[in-house]
Structure 1
């Protein structure tokens, strides 16, 4: 049994999209190669779409609707799939993060996950009470700030801080990260009690522009390092 055979269209709107792509293709007696010609991709990617490992973008949805005269079925389904929360999004985003060649992360509330120390991550995830809160906080933050300085020395890592004096910027809308894979970019948009995975190329490009605009407000790498060192001094380092 293939992955496409195991797709349950009742589990989510994205699963429904994958199921219907295969259903409509088979109903018309088309090959994956032919569908790839309609939506401008290779046959192997069509197989990934039908297996739920990837999702069509809006241009592809419109192309299918036009070619198969569906009355806008795929476009509407994709629209509502994007509007609703999918509990599988976070798991998928973690898988993409591991495979990504480049990660661009903006986070305004906590240290980005890939840069967190174990103690800091445990504190973020846990609501457990600590007897000496202030002392525990200082020790944890000293270690975390030191970790940022160490990571910032790596040629493949760039850490930049946005000072409060920078004023309004697009990052105030919430955290997000863009993951550059071998053949495409995807993004994960964080939110309270969950987030959303963005795979539409046009939407991800817009987020990449937002990331650049946020970067224009950020301090340079050297200035950011100096700010982190100042914070460490405040913690008695």
Structure 2
């Protein structure tokens, strides 16, 4: 049994979640083990969440709502909880990303976070020496929920060709990630272009950047470095980055040509080693 500790519900989204879980569980007359049995987890897990020692997942939250008849309280809270697990310097951008109507991003090193698979995200975060890996992965995947909204933002991403060749994790993880990129061909609100090596010099050699646009608010530019981030709403900076992004799009392959290159790299670099000319090896 996890020993109870005092929780201040105003301290953080996680503390508020923990406080409400204990309150509603006790109101329902259930012990931790009894609630755990209902939602197919251990009573100790319930205790750790109630004590703020374990960050809840979305699946866990949805099962809580069903078991306690909360009307979706925990499913609504978990988004705030997971966002609070993002690095402090990234949280301001994540909040803006949720409100953006248009997202334009250039990424020379990695697949943009909104387009990552869970396995690729885990490999990227692990390579960055991230702590609390499970929570970090869950928080990154939570960001992707904006793509499933009734009115998702329009997302246009330019990836340097190097992103396709730089492996994070196993070949299987990279195959899965490139498959994910190809799946977005059928999403009219998501466009992916590849800046090929043959493009040579380009106007974004300083690094990755993202331009967010909003209805009725100024554009915002986001860029980051080690352990810090820069979110700027300066009109001159926004115009400069938008101009650079236009040049990147012009130099990049078309959406269709980009998909063909992704598919080719997927087969040539990360194809199944147990297959030769499409035939399985014994």
TM-score w.r.t. structure 2 length?
Answer: 0.49
**Are residues 1:148 and 2:181 paired?**
yes
Q: Tell me by how many angstroms 1:88 deviates.
A: 5.3
Q: 1:228 aligns with which of 262, 267, 271?
A: 262
The equivalences for 1:197-208 within 5 A come to: 197-208=231-242
Aligned length, in residue pairs = 146
- The SS at the match of 2:191 is coil
- The SS at the match of 2:240 is helix
Task: Tell me if the contact between 2:222 and 2:229 (Cα under 8 Å) persists in the aligned partners.
Answer: yes
Q: Tell me by how many angstroms 1:195 deviates.
A: 2.2
Q: Tell me by how many angstroms 1:229 deviates.
A: 0.4
The equivalences for 1:152-191 within 5 A come to: 152-183=185-216, 184-191=218-225
The equivalences for 1:1-237 within 5 A come to: 89-127=89-127, 136-183=169-216, 184-234=218-268, 235-236=270-271
Task: Tell me if the contact between 1:96 and 1:181 (Cα under 8 Å) persists in the aligned partners.
Answer: no
Task: Tell me if the contact between 2:221 and 2:233 (Cα under 8 Å) persists in the aligned partners.
Answer: yes
| CA–CA separation in structure 2 for the residues paired with 1:135 and 1:141 | 7
- The SS at the match of 2:201 is coil
| CA–CA separation in structure 2 for the residues paired with 1:153 and 1:224 | 14
5+ long unaligned stretches in structure 2: 1-86, 130-166, 273-282
Task: Tell me if the contact between 2:115 and 2:181 (Cα under 8 Å) persists in the aligned partners.
Answer: yes
Q: Classify 1:232/1:96 alpha carbon distance in 2 versus 1 (closer, same or farther; 3 Å).
A: same
Q: Classify 1:135/1:218 alpha carbon distance in 2 versus 1 (closer, same or farther; 3 Å).
A: closer
Task: Tell me if the contact between 1:174 and 1:191 (Cα under 8 Å) persists in the aligned partners.
Answer: no
Task: Tell me if the contact between 1:100 and 1:180 (Cα under 8 Å) persists in the aligned partners.
Answer: yes
| CA–CA separation in structure 2 for the residues paired with 1:135 and 1:219 | 24
- The SS at the match of 2:194 is coil
Q: Tell me by how many angstroms 1:201 deviates.
A: 1.5
- The SS at the match of 2:266 is helix
| CA–CA separation in structure 2 for the residues paired with 1:225 and 1:136 | 22
| CA–CA separation in structure 1 for the residues paired with 2:172 and 2:204 | 28
Q: Find runs of 4+ consecutive structure 1 residues off by over 3 angstroms.
A: none
Task: Tell me if the contact between 1:108 and 1:171 (Cα under 8 Å) persists in the aligned partners.
Answer: no
Q: Classify 1:232/1:89 alpha carbon distance in 2 versus 1 (closer, same or farther; 3 Å).
A: same
| CA–CA separation in structure 1 for the residues paired with 2:110 and 2:229 | 15
RMSD in angstroms over aligned alpha carbons? 2.0
- The SS at the match of 2:204 is helix
| CA–CA separation in structure 2 for the residues paired with 1:217 and 1:199 | 26
Q: Tell me by how many angstroms 1:89 deviates.
A: 4.6
| CA–CA separation in structure 2 for the residues paired with 1:136 and 1:126 | 9
More strand by share: 2
- Counterpart for residue 75 of structure 1: none
